[in-house]
Amino acid sequence: MTGFDSLPVAPLQALALSWLRPFDVELAVLRLDLIDPLISGNKWFKLLEHLRLAQDAGAPGIISLGGAHSNHLHALAAAGKRFGFATAGLLRGHCQDTPTVRDLQAFGMQVHWLGYGGYRERHQPGFWQPWQALYPGWHCVPEGGGGPLGAKGCALIVAQARAQLANLGWADYDAWWLAAGTGTTLAGLVLAEEGGHAVHGALAVPADHGVAEAVRALVGPAGYRLYDASRGGFAKVDEALLAFMDTCERESGLPLEPLYAGKALLALREQVEAGAFAPGTRLIFLHSGGLQGRRGFA
Ligand SMILES: *Cc1c(COP(=O)(O)O)cnc(C)c1O
């Protein structure tokens, strides 16, 4: 198990979009989608501390859970193949053939389908017991790579952006804008910023998913703001969103996917148009990757 802690640097690029111009808001994008073709986006950062723990413990493998399009399981399986450790994935629902699942198996991940009821048990106290019996000594990563270890790894994202500000001619920036699923990545940015710059999180899941509570548990109540960007549900995609993404992709060349980056950028436009940001504001948009999951929507 070697090489996993040389994280590639995500490029920071200026992003010119016509809907920003009238409001004189400047936007740069930190391209986590470009750090690796397989271990894409924020997921490598979220896994980093888990990989260190697993290595220190001499764990023979890593086990985690997720859905049939999970970017997290995809990154874990690809990391296992690349860096030389075994992986197992516990999947929600019943056996399905998706591009993501095919990749998981091609990367050598042991895939187990839990059904919907079985997956719902994942927070029960005895849940891990049979899996720990089947995979003795393996390191378990919570769903989506969430929790304090995930957030700690994501704190490194801030330094990557700061090191490249001069390339844009920026002395500083005012705030971050990013999509939030579990809120772990957002929590990492808040930890690294220590109140220096605000962190704005566009929620890709509805308010009843407990993300606000999870973020509060990780970093407390200050230093960030959350917005509902879910458009009625996690996987809900509508015409307005697709048309907006299409326009942005044409204008900027930035590839988007609808579940996170597309929704986050649309929520940003709504805030900009509502006058949330003063003229001259400089924002960094975190492109958290996830383009592999886009294949499921083709
Ligand atoms: C997982 C994921 C997120 C959400 O990250 P959290 O840390 O769970 O908030 C955002 N964007 C993409 C592309 C993802 O795959």
| Domain residue extents for the chain | 12-41+149-297, 43-146
Query: Are 119 and 93 spatial neighbours (Cβ–Cβ below 8 Å)?
Result: yes
Given this model, what pLDDT does residue 295 score?
81
CATH number of 43-146: 3.40.50.1100
Residues 6+ apart with CB under 8 A from 281: 24, 25, 26, 174, 175
Q: How far is the CA of 133 from the centre of ligand 1 (A)?
A: 30
Is the CB of residue 35 less than 8 Å from the CB of residue 292?
no
Contact 104, 78 (CB under 8 A): no
Looking only at the bridges linking them, the beta strands covering 175-180 and 282-287 are parallel
pLDDT value at residue 271: 98
Which token pair is 34? 């470009």
Q: Top-level CATH class of 12-41+149-297?
A: alpha beta
Q: Please give the distance, rounded to the nearest whole angstrom, from the Cα atom of residue 42 to the centre of ligand 1.
A: 6
> Is there a shared CATH topology between the 12-41+149-297 domain and the 43-146 domain?
yes
Residue to mutate (ligand 1; options 45, 50, 260, 294; most atoms within 8 A of CB)? 260
250: three-class secondary structure by DSSP: helix
Instruction: Look at residue 297 in the predicted model and tell me its pLDDT.
Output: 62
Provide the pLDDT for residue 80: 98
How many angstroms does the Cα of residue 260 sit away from the middle of ligand 1?
7
Say what the pLDDT of residue 77 is: 98
Atom of ligand 1 nearest to the CA of 46: 7
- Does the C-beta of 180 come closer than 6 Å to ligand 1? yes
Residue to mutate, 288, 294, 297, ligand 1, most ligand atoms under 8 Å from C-beta:
288
Report how far residue 62's alpha carbon sits from residue 236's, in angstroms, rounded to the nearest whole number. 31
| CA 189 to centroid of chain Cα atoms | 12
Starting at the edge strand found earlier in the chain, the sheet holding 282-287 runs 12-14, 26-31, 282-287, 175-180, 198-203, 224-228
Tell me if 229 sits within 8 A of 266, measured CB to CB. Answer: yes
Q: Is the CB of 144 under 6 A from ligand 1?
A: yes
Q: Is residue 42 lining ligand 1, measured as CB closer than 6 Å?
A: yes
Q: What is the mean pLDDT of each run of 10 residues along the chain (298 residues)?
A: 92 97 98 94 97 97 96 97 97 96 98 97 94 97 94 98 98 98 98 98 94 97 97 94 97 96 98 98 96 74
Block residue for tokens 């148009």: 273
Tell me if 260 CB under 6 Å of ligand 1: yes
Which atom, in ligand 1's list, is nearest to the CA of 183? 9
